[in-house]
Amino acid sequence: MAANRGRTKPERLFATAIWRAGRRFFTSEGYAKLSGRKLMGSPDLVFPAPKVLVFVDGCFWHGCPRCQKSPPSMSNFWIEKISTNVLRDRRVRASLRRSGWRVIRVWEHELGSSRAVDASVRRVLRTIDARLNGEKC
Ligand SMILES: [Zn+2]
């Protein structure tokens, strides 16, 4: 799929699984074209009706607390680089939430097996359905 070019493997994997589950979504680029609004941080999946955004994040680059190596084994360069990413992620998501979006993060480690992928898909679909049903979540 041309739209998938430039995406990382976990992003592609998750987008494909959502597609297979029968849910349609926009990429950030597609949403920007449709709405004329550019979303901060370029979320991977955009569900405009329930106002749900999904970020599929690599554990290393985004400083996953579960997978992160203990800082002493990392050079200062990487520690600094990753903490910059973590702070930026936090700012971006806080701003999106203020605009009424529900922001869901799917970690790379949550896509480690097909069973894990299914569980992550269900988690996202539950949130989407709850929002569509007008529940606050
Ligand atoms: Zn992780």
**Which pLDDT tens digit goes with each residue over 67-107?**
976 666 778 888 899 999 999 999 999 999 999 999 999 99
User: Measured in angstroms, how far is the CA atom of residue 35 from the centroid of ligand 1?
Assistant: 33
Q: Where are the alpha helices (DSSP H) in 36-113?
A: 76-98
User: Measured in angstroms, how far is the CA atom of residue 40 from the centroid of ligand 1?
Assistant: 23
Place 5 in a pLDDT band, splitting at 50, 70 and 90: low
What local confidence, expressed as pLDDT, does residue 78 receive? 86
User: Measured in angstroms, how far is the CA atom of residue 104 from the centroid of ligand 1?
Assistant: 15
Is residue 53 within 8 A of residue 96, CB to CB? The reply is yes
Please list, in sequence order, all residues whose beta carbon lies within 8 angstroms of the beta carbon of residue 44, skipping any fewer than 6 positions away: 7, 11, 14, 15, 27, 28, 54, 55, 56
Nearest alpha carbon to residue 15 among 127, 120, 96: 120
Residue reference for tokens 């400083």 = 63
pTM above 0.85, yes or no: yes
**Confidence check: pLDDT of 52 > 80:** yes
What local confidence, expressed as pLDDT, does residue 92 receive? 98
